[in-house]
Amino acid sequence: MAMMRTTLLRLILPVLLAAGLPPTAAAEWGDPLVEAVPTPSPPEIGAPSHILVDMHSGYMLAGQDPEAAWEPASLAKLMTAYVVFNELSAGRISLADKVTISENAWRAEGSRMFLEVGTEVSIEKLLQGLIVQSGNDAAVALAEYVAGDEQTFAQLMNEHANRLGMDNTNYTNASGMPDEAMRTTAEDTALLARAIIEDFPEFYDLYSQRSFEYAGITQRNRNKLLWRDETVDGVKTGYTSEAGYNLVTSAERDGMRLISVVLGTASEDARAQQSLQLLNYGFRFFETHRLYSAGEQLTEARVWKGATDNVALGVPDDLYITTPRQEYDNLSAAASADSEIEAPVSEGEALGTLEVELANTTIHEEPLVALDSVEAGGLWRQVVDRLLLRLQ
């Protein structure tokens, strides 16, 4: 995909939820351009694959080859943490649970939190070792505790990836150690970062922790932007000689949260600097606002043959829109209801459309849903409305 000149982009598509699992992000980030309101081009950076997205609206603000296949390296630990967070939220494990460290975990190569065989370490400590220190030994220990072995845990990782719409990602291990079958993309990684922040906010503070001490050794978080920009509060670094230096970053300024992913940079400094360039571009030239709240009545529709004459319509979820700076007040929205709606009507049923325009161009369409249910009316109402419909 060529470098985006960007302005407004459509919202990401919804995906079906698996029963009993937390809300997902969505299938993909959208990218049609609105040329009517030009904005400066994104910075040209040295990351061969990268993406910048607004977390709330799902708009992609910049990108180059965001669908290119890439070795995840330690970015795989984002999904390792996501799986553990899900188990914690479901009550199947707790932060206080003690994990007995296996020889397999102890032998993990690469970055480590220096676990010892046979020691008992809490889930909480292992999560810190996984996220702050990027410990491969912590990743293996967590995988074995949750799923019995790392291979089974990788199946859980892939199940969650599929549910989140990460269609171009495959995991074979929990730590991100090189494997020909391991792959991801900048686009998929942004979806995963968004899901972590949205689905498990109670654990997200771990990603802003600057250092962690274990076994008498203090190690610093490798995300240099945690020191360089106070608005940055995550997310994760990754490196192998094949993948290069990778960084997923999230920052929030004035209620607007952006996520950047840069893959394949030349050094630690480069991945930090190029991520900051993308973030500064997004915050400088765009703004995001909540246009409507979930459950807010935007219009009402006539209901025929119902116990009541009308039903309120609104959007099912908070609707955020990203615009170029100083263009938000130029948005216009039109709500229209379907004709000849007949009872019964179920709450949440799509019965209309909301269109949002900027510079005479439709930039977003959203279904309008019934905010309440309407039962079928009595016999007299049925007869009268049937006659009125015939006369229309």
Q: What is the DSSP string of 23-59?
A: PP--S--B----TTS--PPPP--S-SEEEEEETTT-B
pLDDT of residue 381: 82
pLDDT of residue 382: 79
66 confidence band (pLDDT: 50, 70, 90): very high
Question: Taking the model in full, what pTM does it have?
Answer: 0.88
Q: Do domains 49-287 and 293-391 have the same CATH topology?
A: no
- pLDDT, one tens digit per residue, over 361-382 is 888 899 999 999 999 988 888 7
* Alpha carbons 362 and 190: distance in angstroms, whole number: 26
**Which residue shows structure tokens 């220990």?**
141
pLDDT of residue 9: 30
Closest by CA position to 321, among listed 298, 354, 295, 274: 354
pLDDT of residue 385: 65
* Alpha carbons 220 and 262: distance in angstroms, whole number: 21
* Alpha carbons 99 and 261: distance in angstroms, whole number: 32
Q: Say which residues have a Cβ less than 8 Å from residue 326's Cβ, sequence separation at least 6.
A: none
Kindly name the residue from 57, 74, 102, 275 that is annotated as catalytic. Answer: 74
Closest by CA position to 80, among listed 166, 154, 21, 185: 154
φ, ψ for residue 271 (rounded to 5)?
-65, -35
Instruction: State both tokens at 212.
Output: 């962690």
DSSP secondary structure of 167-203 = TT-B-S-SS----TT-BB-HHHHHHHHHHHHHH-TTT
Annotated active-site residue 275? The verdict is no
Kindly name the residue from 77, 125, 224, 236 that is annotated as catalytic. Answer: 77
* Alpha carbons 350 and 337: distance in angstroms, whole number: 9
pLDDT of residue 28: 55
* Alpha carbons 139 and 229: distance in angstroms, whole number: 28
pLDDT of residue 194: 97
Q: What is the mean pLDDT of residues 300-328?
A: 93
Select 49-287's CATH number: 3.50.50.60, 3.40.710.10, 3.30.428.10, 3.20.20.80.
3.40.710.10
Q: 293-391: what CATH class?
A: mainly beta
Kindly name the residue from 57, 102, 111, 134 that is annotated as catalytic. Answer: 134
Domain boundaries, the chain: 49-287, 293-391
> Residue 100 pLDDT > 60, yes or no?
yes
Annotated active-site residue 74? The verdict is yes
Cα–Cα distance list, 258 to 133, 211, 269, 275, 282 (Å) = 24, 24, 20, 11, 7
> Residue 324 pLDDT > 60, yes or no?
yes
- pLDDT, one tens digit per residue, over 12-37 is 222 222 223 343 334 455 443 345 57
pLDDT of residue 3: 30
pLDDT of residue 39: 82
> 131 — alpha (psi -120 to 50), left (phi > 0) or beta?
alpha
* Alpha carbons 235 and 252: distance in angstroms, whole number: 12
Q: What is the mean pLDDT of residues 194-219?
A: 95
Q: Round to the nearest angstrom and report the end-to-end CA distance of the chain.
A: 51
* Alpha carbons 176 and 71: distance in angstroms, whole number: 8
> Residue 83 pLDDT > 90, yes or no?
yes
Annotated active-site residue 305? The verdict is no
* Alpha carbons 260 and 257: distance in angstroms, whole number: 10
